[in-house]
A and B are shown apart, each in its own frame.
Chain A
Amino acid sequence: MKKQLRMALSAGVTFGIVTIFLFLIGFTGISGDLLADLFGNKNAAPFLGLTPQMINMIIFLALIGLWAGSYGSRKSKGQTDDPWAPALIGGLTAGLVHGILVGLLALLVGILNLNQVPINMYLAAVLPAAVKMFLLGGSPVQGAIFHLILFTLTGFLGGLLSRGIGRGSWRVRAVANWKNAWDRYNQKPFIKKMRGNPATRYVIYGVLVLLVFMVPLVAGQYWNYTIGTVCIYVLLGLGLNIVVGLAGLLDLGYVAFFAIGAYTMALLTAPAPQHLMWSFWIALPIGVVLAALTGLLLGAPVLRLRGDYLAIVTLGFGEIIRLLSTSDAMTSFSGGPKGVPSIAGPTIFGEPFNSGADFVYLIFLAAILIIFVTNRLQNSRVGRAWEAMREDETVSRAMGINTLTQKLLAFAIGAAFAGLGGALFASRNQFTGPEDFTFMVSVNVVAVVIVGGMGSIPGVIAGALVLKGLPEVLRELQDYRVMVFGALLVVMMLWRPAGIISSSRRKLEVEKDTGATESPKEGSEK
C-alpha cells in the first residue's frame, strides 16, 4: 500500500512537470488547434463561453490526466492480487498531485499576467493570450480550481479505466483470437503455396514500385518536393546504413560527404563562381567519386580508432567542411556564405529533364539502384565480413578478415552514396550553400538509420518516411519537430534499440546485450 502510494505520488509529480512543460513551450495552445483540425470544429460557436480551441485543449489535458491516473494506479512489481481500492486511491493521488502542480502554475501565471508582467520576454511561449486560454478566460483562482478539479477527476477515472479495461481479461482473449485467425489464414493451402513462391514476392514488389512511380504524376509541386527530400534521405540513410549498420562505425560527420557531392555538382555546373557549366551527367559521377575519395582519405588514418572516438573525429571533420564553406577564405572558390545559385539540372538528349516530377523519377531511380547495390553487398562476402567485424573485431581478424581494408571499403561506399545524394540534392534545389550542411543533417541521417533499424534496408526506408515524411504531414507541429526528434532517439534506444524494422541479426545482438542489464552484472562492458 505504502509503495503503491509512493508510485502514485511520483507519477503525479512526473505528469505535473510534463504538463507544466507542455504549457511553457506553448503546446497546450497548439493542441487545441490540432484537435480543431481533427474534429473540424475550428469555427464553431462558443459553448458556455468557451471557444472551440479551449474545449479542445480541455480534451487534450483530460487525456493527459487519464494517462496520469492509469499510470499512477499501476501495480507495483511482484504484486499478484489486484484489488480495486489501491488502483482507485493510486489514480486519485496521482490526479490530485498532478492537479495541484498545474493549478499552482495556472495561479502563478494568471497573477503575473494580471499584473502585466511581460512573462514572454523570458518564456517565449507564455503570451498573454496563451495564459488567458489556459485559464479559460476566467480569473487566476478560477483557472487554478478548474485545473485542480479536472486533473483529480481524470486521474480517478484513469485509475478506474486501467483497472477495468487495461488489465481486463479481454486483452488476453483478443490477442489469442487474433493469433488464431492469423494461424488459420496461414494454414490455407493457397496462401501457403503463395508464401513459399519467390515469384509472389517479385509481383508484390513490382506492384509496389509501379504504385510508387504513379505518385509523382498525381502529386503537386509541394508533395513532389517532399517525396524527393524523403528519397534523398533514403539514399543517405542507406549509405550510412553500410557504415553504421553493417560495419558498426558511427559516423557523425556524414554531412561532409553530402556537402562534397553537392558542391562538386554546384561548382562544375553553375555559371558562378567557377564558370565551368559542365553537363549534369558529367558532374554527377565526378561528385560521387570525389566523395568516395574523401572518404578513403579521411578513413585511412581515422578508422584505426574505435567507437566513440571515431564519432567525434568525423563530427569534427563535418564541422571543418561546414566552417570552411562559410568562411571568407573560400568565398572566391565556392561562393562562401551566400552559396552557389543556378545549378544546372539534368538534360536528356538536349531536352531539359528537371521539372518536379522528373526529378522525383531520377531520385527514385537512384534510390532503387542503391537499394539493389546495398542488398547485393549485404549478402556478399564483403557484407558478411562487415557484420562479423561489427560483432567482434578481434575474432573477425582471426578469421582472416583484413579489418582496415573492410572498414575503408565501407566508409568509401557510404561516402559515395552520400555524394550521389548531395549531387542530386544540389541539382534539384538549383542552389546550395553552407546552411544545407549543418550538423543536424548528420544527426537526421543517423536517426533515420537508428529509428528505422540498423542494418535493415526496409527499416531505413521506413525511418526516412517516418522522420522526414511525417513532419511534413503534421505541419502544425513544425516548431516541436526537432525536440520530439531528440526525445524519439532516446526513447528508441530505451525501448527498441534495434529499430522499427530491425534486421534479424542485429536484433539478436542488441537483445542479448541489453538483456544483461536486468541482472546485477555491472562492469561487464569495458
Chain B
Amino acid sequence: MPSAKSPARRVSTYKIVQAILGILFAGYLVWRLYVVFIGSPAYGPDTWARFLIAGVVLGSVYALIAIGYTLVYGILRMINFAHGDIMMIGAFGGYFVFEAFKAIPVPTLADPKMTFLDANPILSVVAAFVVGASVAALGGYFLEKIAYRPLRGAPRLVPLISAIGASIFLENAAQLLFGTQRRDYSNPAILTRGNGWNLPIGGTTVILPYTGVLTVAVSVLLMLGLYLLVMRTRLGRSMRAVAENKQVASLMGIDVDGVISRTFIISGALAGAAGVMWGIHLGIVYYYVGFLPGIKAFTAAVLGGIGSVPGAMLGGLFLGLVESLGPGILGMSYQLADVIAFGILVLVLIFRPTGIVGEVLTEEKV
C-alpha cells in the first residue's frame, strides 16, 4: 500500500532530523561545558555560585507563575495570556502596602525617624504578600468572569485573542493609573537588597541575600500548600475532575463554573505572591513588569509539560537556572539571556511538546 507508506516515511525522516539535531545540540553543550569548566574556565567557583543563587531565586518565582498557567490550561485548555499582568497587579499591591507602612512614623528613642515598615518587618512582609495575592486573585476572578466565561465553547482562537486583549488592557490601564516610571520597591530595612549571609566560596565570599532566601522559602511554602490543596481537599478533587472531563464532572454534581472561577482565584493569588517576590527581590515595579516573566513562566510551564503542576515547578526552576547559567556556559553576553530562554521554548516545542514530565498528549491536543 504505497499511499499508507508515504506519510509513515515522512514522519520517520522528521524523527531522523530531530535526532541528528538533538545530537548536535547535545554535543555542542558538552563541548561548551568542557571549555567553560575544564578547558579554559572563564569564571571562578564564586561567580558560578552567584549565578546559581540568582537562578534558583528567579526559578522559584517563575515556578509560581507557571503553576497558574498550568492550572488554567489543565482545566480550560486555554493559555491565560493575561497571567503575567495579574502578577503585575500583585506586585503593585505589595508596593502600596510598603509605601503606606513607610508613611506611618513610629518614633523610638534610638531612632526618631523609625517607620512602621522598619519597626515591624515581619508584619509588613506578611501584609504585602496577603494584599498582593488578594488583589491579584480578585483580578484573576474578574478577568475570568468578564473576558473568558462568555467565550466558553467558542473556537480556540477566540478566547486566546480575548486574553491578549485583556493583557493589553491591564498593562495600559496600569500605565495610565500609576504612570510610566519604574518605581523602587521600598523593602523593610532588614531586607535591603544586597544584605545577606556571607558564604566563603573559592577564596572570596558570596552573598546569599535575605530577599532571595525569603523568596525561595515563600515559594516552596505556597507550592506545598497548593499541592495539598489539589491532592487532599474537596476543591482540589473537583478541580482534577473538571480537568479530566467537564461534562462528566458536572454530572457528578460539581459546579463547573464555580471550580473554574476558583482556579482563576488560586492561580491569581499565586501570581500575585510571585509579583510581590519579584518586587522584594529585584526591586522594581512598573506597568510592564509582568510581560516578560509571564512569557517566560509560560515557557517554564510548557517545559515541564503544560497541565502538570510538578512539571511547572520543575520547569520554572530549570528556566531560572538556564537564564542565569546559560549565557555563562554558552559564552554569550548577558543581554542574550532572554534569547536563550525563548530559544529553549522554541526547541522544546519542536522536539518535545509534551514537556519534561508531561502527559503523553495526542496530536489532537497538541
A82 contacts chain B at the CB level, 8 A cutoff: no
Main secondary structure of the interface of B (DSSP, over half): helix
Question: Looking at the complex, which one of A24, A514, A524 makes contact with B151 (CB distance below 8 Å)?
Answer: A514
* Least CB distance, B72 to chain A, in whole angstroms: 11
Given contacts A122-B96, A509-B155, A510-B154, contact A313 B160 (CB under 8 A): no
Q: Are B99 and A122 in contact (CB under 8 A)?
A: yes
In the complex, chain B residues 143-165 whose Cβ is within 8 Å of any chain A Cβ: 146-147, 150-162, 164-165
Partner of B158, one of A319, A443, A480, A493: A493
Interface size of B as a range: 35 or more
Stretch in B56-64, B223-231, B331-339 touching the partner: B331-339
Nearest CB of chain A from residue B14's CB, rounded to whole Å: 8
B169 contacts which of A450, A490, A513 (Cβ < 8 Å)? A490
Nearest A-chain residue to B100, judged by Cβ: A122
Residues in B whose Cβ lies below 8 Å from that of A513: 153-155
A283 CA / B284 CA spacing, docked (Å) = 43
Bound CA span A338–B363, Å? 44
Cβ distance A232 to chain B, nearest Cβ, rounded Å: 21
Least distance between B92 CB and chain A CB atoms (Å) = 10
Tell me the dominant secondary structure on chain A's binding face. helix
Kindly list chain A residues whose C-beta atoms are within 8 Å of the C-beta of B280.
none
B164 touches A443 (CB 8 A): yes
**B77 CB–A CB distance under 8 Å:** yes
CB distance from A27 to the nearest CB of B (A): 8
- Complex CA–CA separation, A523 to B295 (angstroms): 27
Count chain B CB atoms within 10 A of each CB in A304, A315, A485, A525 and give the residue with the most: A525
| Min CB–CB distance A281 → chain B (angstroms) | 34
The yes or no answer to A183 lying at the interface (CB within 8 A) is no
**Shortest beta-carbon distance, A338 to chain B, in Å?**
15
Task: Name the B residues within 8 Å of A486 (CB-CB).
Answer: 164-172
B258 → chain A, closest Cβ, in Å? 12
Q: Does B110 contact A (CB under 8 A)?
A: no
- B111: shortest Cβ distance to chain A, in Å? 24
**A306/B366 contact (C-beta < 8 A), A250-B157, A483-B169, A486-B168 known:** yes
Q: Which of A308, A319, A480, A485 meets B342, CB within 8 Å?
A: A319
Q: Say whether, besides A301-B350, A522-B247, A494 and B176 are in contact (CB < 8 Å).
A: no
Is B179 an interface residue, CB under 8 A from the partner?
Answer: yes
Give the interface centre of B165, B299, B336, B363 by most chain A CB atoms within 10 Å: B165
Chain A's nearest CB lies how many Å from the CB of B174? 9
Q: B247 near A494 (CB under 8 angstroms)?
A: no
Q: Does A526 contact B (CB under 8 A)?
A: yes
Alpha-carbon gap, A521 to B172, bound state (A) = 35
Whether, in the assembled complex, B133 has its beta carbon less than 8 Å from a beta carbon of chain A, the answer is: no
Say yes or no: B246 contacts A523, CB within 8 Å.
yes
A313 proximity list for chain B (CB < 8 A): 345-346, 349-350
A387 to B164, CA, bound (A): 24
B250 is an interface residue with CB less than 8 A from chain A: yes
Check: B197 CB closer than 8 A to any chain A CB. no
User: Does any Cβ of B come within 8 Å of A323's Cβ?
Assistant: yes
Determine if A37 is an interface residue (Cβ-Cβ < 8 Å).
no
Are A514 and B154 interface neighbours, CB within 8 A? yes
0 or 1 for each of B1-19: is its CB under 8 Å from A? (1 = yes): 0000000000000100000
Q: Which stretch (A286-294, A324-332, A416-424) binds chain B?
A: A324-332
The residue of chain B having its C-beta at the shortest distance from the C-beta of A301 within the complex is B350
* Nearest-Cβ distance from residue A186 to partner chain B, whole angstroms: 34
A283-324 vs B, CB cutoff 8 Å, 1 = contact: the mask equals: 000000000000000000110111111011101110110011
The answer, yes or no, to whether A123 is at the interface (CB within 8 Å) is yes
Q: Which residues of B contact A21 (CB under 8 A)?
A: 173
Question: Digit string of A14-42 for contact with B (CB within 8 Å is 1, else 0)?
Answer: 00000001001110000000000000000
* Chain B residue with Cβ nearest A479: B176
Question: Does B78 count as interface, using CB distance less than 8 angstroms?
Answer: yes
Contact A324 B339 (CB under 8 A): yes
CB of B302 closer than 8 Å to a CB of A:
yes
Known: A489-B164, A526-B77. Contact between A312 and B169, CB under 8 A?
Answer: no
Q: A316-B345, A328-B333, A329-B335 are in contact. Are A516 and B153 (CB under 8 A)?
A: yes
> Cβ of A447: which chain B residues have Cβ within 8 Å of it?
165
Q: How far is the CA of A394 from the CA of B362 in the complex (A)?
A: 13
A492–B153 alpha-carbon span in the complex (Å): 16
A319–B152 CB distance below 8 A? no
Tell me if A250 and B346 are in contact (CB < 8 A).
Answer: no
- How near does chain B come to A467, taking the closest CB pair, in angstroms? 12
Q: Nearest chain-A residue to B153 (Cβ)?
A: A517
CB-CB contacts of A488-509 with B at 8 A, as 1s and 0s? 1111111001000000000001
In the bound complex, do residue B336 and residue A483 qualify as a contact, i.e. CB atoms below 8 Å apart?
A: no
Closest chain A residue, CB of each to CB of B165: A489
Contact A317 B346 (CB under 8 A): yes
- Which chain A residues (175-192) contact chain B, with CB distance < 8 Å? none
B161 with A493: CB separation less than 8 A: yes
Residues of A within 8 A of B335 (CB): 323, 326-329
Residues of A in contact with B (beta carbons under 8 Å apart): 21, 24-26, 122-125, 244, 248, 250, 252, 301-302, 304-309, 311-313, 315-317, 319-320, 323-324, 326-329, 394, 439, 443, 446-447, 450, 479-480, 482-483, 485-494, 497, 509-510, 513-514, 516-517, 520-526
14 A-B Cβ contacts within 8 A? A124-B180, A305-B349, A305-B353, A308-B160, A324-B339, A327-B335, A479-B176, A485-B165, A486-B164, A488-B165, A491-B165, A494-B151, A526-B364, A526-B365
B-to-A contact residues, CB < 8 Å: 14, 77-79, 96, 99, 146-147, 150-162, 164-173, 175-180, 245-250, 256, 291, 295, 298-299, 302, 332-333, 335-336, 338-339, 342-343, 345-346, 349-350, 353, 363-366
Listed from nearest, the 3 A-B pairs whose CB atoms lie closest are: A489-B165, A523-B246, A486-B168
